[in-house]
Amino acid sequence: MHMRSPLQTMFLQSEKAFDLVFGPEWNPLRQLGTIAFFMYWVAAATGIFIYAFFETSVGGAYSSVDYMTNDQWYLAGVMRSLHRYSSDGMVVFLVLHLVREWSFDRYRGVRWYAWFTGVPIIWLLYASGLSGYWLVWDQLAQYVALGSMEWLDALGVFGEPVATNFLTRGSLTDRFFTLLVFIHIFVPLFLLFAMWVHVIRVSQPKINPPRGAAIGLMIMLVALSLIKPALSHAPADLSLIPQSLNLDWFFMLFYPIFDAWGAVALWAVAVGGSLLLVVLPWVPPLKVPAAPLVTLDHCNGCGRCYADCPYGAITIVSRTDGLPYTQQAEVNAANCTRCGICVGSCPTSSPFKNEDDLVSGIDLPHLSIKSMRGLVDAALVQAPHGIILVGCEHGPNIKEVPLTDIATVRLPCVSMLPPAFIDYMISQGAGGVMIAGCPECGCRYRIGVEIMQERLDGRRDPYLRKRVPRERVRTLWASPIEREALKAAALVFQEDIKTLDEEAVSDV
């Protein structure tokens, strides 16, 4: 955790600054995964376009790329540059996405699957990009081809060294470029399949950035393509050793390591690094509480928990207990993050019951509805007419608010709180209820903030009843570093509640 804390703070501070410029929804640091997908689609679309101009032969490959770059720079040349920069952009956003998920500890537990399947994506992305550089067949392609083959030859799996095919002029044939085109088409298709597998266990995954963000990114890519177009080196010449090259450091970072340390060291870095990434979710193992339990006596199979689960951990199956309902909820513990959002979605999760009847259709064993009401009742005793501050474990720290007449209730996610509990707190005399969760578009559990806001607005069932005075309910979506924002919002809310109480007394 100590290693991750500085990175967390860096990301949170950067996201806060970007929010001021782009807003939460368009903030690129909150859309790293979707932007990586977007970069893939740009590279795929532009690749299809420039393939129409490409000549699959040793003698024609370079000249066809040169024609696109210089003779038809205004269209094919721009497309080539877009292809190059979107590919680089995918590397950048993939790496940022990986580092961000690690720094926020979003790779263990149920999230192991997405992390584990992300490792092949890295290999396929680099194979896709490097095979594209070969097709240009300039001196940079010659350097990459020779280095790659020498790296593969170190495995000793080929009968003869493959790299010898790149040492003499005339040793390559047009069939070689046909094979390269085949590789450069089908490896990205495998990459797309791997990206689909990567998100398959996420309920309703978001793979496209917001339209405004996508338009802005496209404008930036086009501008970069016009200002600094992608250019080729001199034509490849196998009788010469390239001396001066402009490496693409996004894809060719490891080639200088190969030159300096040799093939064995690079294999150790590549394979060792991949294995480290693969085992990280289990080092150390993550201890998680028990998954939610379904109490069939209180479940009518309405499907609200199924609709709200961010990770597809709940399914609706045929009834098994003989009660007069056709369906029931079923929890897959392997997919469950224990966020409790399903508890907040269940219509039976009501505090307006006797102590013995506080049972919900779906409940967290370590924090049941009964326990939750106990926390709420204790908060009401602590601040009988003040503000009850409900927060999550990953948003602003509600325990650090240095104000009097405020009591706190902390949950795994604020969307675990059923709207009926807000009604209960105010009906029991609380001056107001403030919900303080993760920042917008930055929820630990993907859609917890969105779900809670929709419940409060009456756009998602179960919704907050109309009888609850909305002026006594407040929300704050902020990150853990925004302590002052939480304090300021709570202070303003206190003053507003005081004014409401004074007006109520004067009306009487």
Task: Supply the DSSP string of 135-171, one letter for each residue.
Answer: HH-BHHHHHHHHHHHHHHHTT--SSS-GGGGGSSTT-
Instruction: Compute the distance between CA of residue 176 and CA of residue 165 in angstroms, rounded to an integer.
Output: 10
Low-confidence ranges of the chain (pLDDT < 70): 1-2, 159-160, 163, 165-170, 507-508
CA distances (Å), origin 240, targets 137, 198, 233, 237: 14, 43, 14, 6
- Residue 503 is predicted with a pLDDT of 87
- Residue 32 is predicted with a pLDDT of 96
Q: Is the peptide bond before 284 cis (omega within 30 degrees of 0)?
A: yes
Which residues lie closer than 8 Å to 152 by C-beta, 6 or more apart?
158, 162
Instruction: Compute the distance between CA of residue 27 and CA of residue 18 in angstroms, rounded to an integer.
Output: 6
pLDDT, tens digit (0-9, with 9 covering 90-100), for 27-64: 999 999 999 999 999 999 999 999 999 998 888 999 99
Please tell us whether the domain made up of 28-240+251-282 is placed in CATH 1.20.810.10: yes
Helix then strand count (H, E) for the chain reads 16, 8
For every residue of 400-412, which 3-state class applies, written as one string?
HCCCCCEEEEEEC
- Residue 149 is predicted with a pLDDT of 87
Q: Give pairs for 189-198: CB < 8 Å, separation 24+.
A: 190/124, 191/40, 191/121, 191/124, 191/125, 191/128, 192/40, 192/44, 194/117, 194/120, 194/121, 194/124, 195/37, 195/40, 195/121, 197/117, 198/114, 198/117, 198/118, 198/121
Instruction: Compute the distance between CA of residue 499 and CA of residue 218 in angstroms, rounded to an integer.
Output: 49
Task: Supply the DSSP string of 59-127, one letter for each residue.
Answer: THHHHHHHIIIIITIIIIIHHHHHHHHHHHHHHHHHHHHHHHHHHTT-SSGGGHHHHHHHHHHHHHHHH
Exposure string over 162-171, b if 16+ CB within 10 A, otherwise e: bbebbeeeee
Kindly report the CA angle at 32 between 489 and 183, in degrees rounded to 5?
175
CATH 1.20.810.10 location in the chain: 28-240+251-282
Residue entry with tokens 């995918």 = 90
* CA count, 13 A, side-chain hemisphere, 162: 15
- Judge if pTM exceeds 0.85: yes
